[in-house]
Amino acid sequence: MHLLKLKAINGFKDILPDEVILWQHIENISRDIFHRFGLQEIRLPIIEETELFARSIGQATDIVEKEMYTFADKGITLRPEATASLLRAFIEHGMHVQQPVNRLYTIGPMFRHERPQKGRLRQFHQVNAEVIGAVEPQVDAEIMAMGQLLLTELGLKASLEANSLGCPECRPPFRKKLVNYLEQLSGQLCSDCQRRTHANPLRVLDCKNPRCSELVQDAPSILECLCTECSEHFAQVQACLDLLGVQYSVNKFMVRGLDYYTRTTFEFIAHNLGAQSAVGAGGRYDGLIEDLGGPKLPGIGFAMGIERLVLLMRERNDDDLGLQQKTDVFVAALGEEAAKHGFLLVHTLRQSGIKAAMDYSGRSLKAQMKQAGRLNSRYTLIIGENELERNTGVLRNMENREQEDFTLEDGPASWGNRLKHIIEKKVSL
């Protein structure tokens, strides 16, 4: 019989324990930073009504046009991003009634049917932060500074690029100007951009095709078309970034692939990631909450791709950062009677908060010591037949190989605490 070899689907990836260490580190640092900035966690479903994404991300975007995993018969879609879901929850639970400004974050998987490549998956993960209800430019700068701090605390470098996309007042005249300009180039643009010229002209500005990017160098700039309020807002955002000492550059060609943005948009670009160089991105969406049927409130946020953060951490070649999971004590027992004591000992140690391990297969001391090494054990407690007669075990420090007797006389209830005391004392020395 021919047995089918089962594999994960293309673009969907298993994250094995060695790599999970990096993921946990990223998640821990993200949570810590988000809490420092007063954000609270919100957990959301990974499936929503398709209409939510069509209305927020935009009908003419690549994401909605061709990248969504939709169950057409049910009218539902695996979320391609978290902002829309978060705002749906925000509106549904009337969260604005509790407090004028809501600061929220969420961490989890997203799904986009893109062509998989380095740093681009079909199931990927984001840490995602949003501040809802504040229009002040300080918040824009604070959010970007928070992203920058996250990268710094992970030991990573990326450059911050910022732009302003204006508002419903200044964007339409700009769009018109841009379409006029693009129409003149029409024959020379790539086929995607020819189609985008009317469907989504702003996207032409960040086409990756070298010919297109050359052709748009002289295109009208959104920054020259901003209304007074938007222009002032962006100037203040920049002044705030300067005040905080956040390095950034203005990129007038940055337009983002989601339609909900207004005013400030930004991306963190890591130049050693290859084609998928954006490690994080975000911006303001001042009209979106109202468009989704909620109160008239502004919002701003960003998301970082965890897979891309992991790639950058791996590239530094100091993978484990001392993060490897360690065992405190490995109990090596020799003989049946010792194994019985060991079995009870391991459980008592675990009850007292010690990471303890044991091998039950009755292997030789040498094999057990090898196993202790594999588990990165800091100590091994050896219980042999001779030791058992004296009611003691031998506690060996695996780093400096020093050994000391460990009495088993006082019974299991006190073993854990005593061992914990020894280990902690050694650590603090």
Q: Which residues bind ligand HAM (CB under 6 A)?
A: 81-83, 112, 114, 119-121, 124, 126, 128, 130, 257-258, 278-283, 301-305, 307-308
Smallest separation (angstroms) from ligand HAM to the CB of 268: 7
Direct distance between the N- and C-terminal alpha carbons of the chain, in angstroms, rounded to an integer: 62
For the sheet with 403-407, list strands across it.
356-358, 327-333, 377-383, 392-397, 403-407
Q: Which is nearer to ligand HAM, 82 or 357 (CB)?
A: 82
Smallest separation (angstroms) from ligand HAM to the CB of 128: 6
Instruction: For the chain, give percent helix, strand, coil, nearest 5.
Output: 45, 20, 35
Q: Taking the CA atoms of the chain, what radius of gyration do you get in angstroms?
A: 28
Smallest separation (angstroms) from ligand HAM to the CB of 297: 14
The answer to whether the CB of 395 falls within 8 A of the CB of 422 is: yes
Q: Which is nearer to ligand HAM, 126 or 348 (CB)?
A: 126
Q: Which is nearer to ligand HAM, 127 or 339 (CB)?
A: 127
Q: Which is nearer to ligand HAM, 178 or 304 (CB)?
A: 304
* Interatomic CA distance for residues 402 and 384, integer angstroms: 18
Smallest separation (angstroms) from ligand HAM to the CB of 14: 15
Q: Which is nearer to ligand HAM, 111 or 415 (CB)?
A: 111
* Interatomic CA distance for residues 364 and 366, integer angstroms: 5
Q: Which is nearer to ligand HAM, 119 or 393 (CB)?
A: 119
Smallest separation (angstroms) from ligand HAM to the CB of 313: 14
DSSP letter assigned to residue 117 = B
The answer to whether the CB of 311 falls within 8 A of the CB of 124 is: no
Q: Which is nearer to ligand HAM, 81 or 140 (CB)?
A: 81
* Interatomic CA distance for residues 58 and 307, integer angstroms: 25
Smallest separation (angstroms) from ligand HAM to the CB of 105: 10
Smallest separation (angstroms) from ligand HAM to the CB of 46: 14
Phi, psi for residue 305 in degrees, rounded to 5? -85, 120
Q: Which is nearer to ligand HAM, 143 or 170 (CB)?
A: 143
For the sheet with 262-269, list strands across it.
40-41, 102-111, 123-132, 299-305, 278-284, 262-269, 159-164, 249-250
Q: Give the nearest residue (CB) to ligand HAM.
A: 305
Smallest separation (angstroms) from ligand HAM to the CB of 63: 7
For residue 32, which amino acid is it? Answer: D
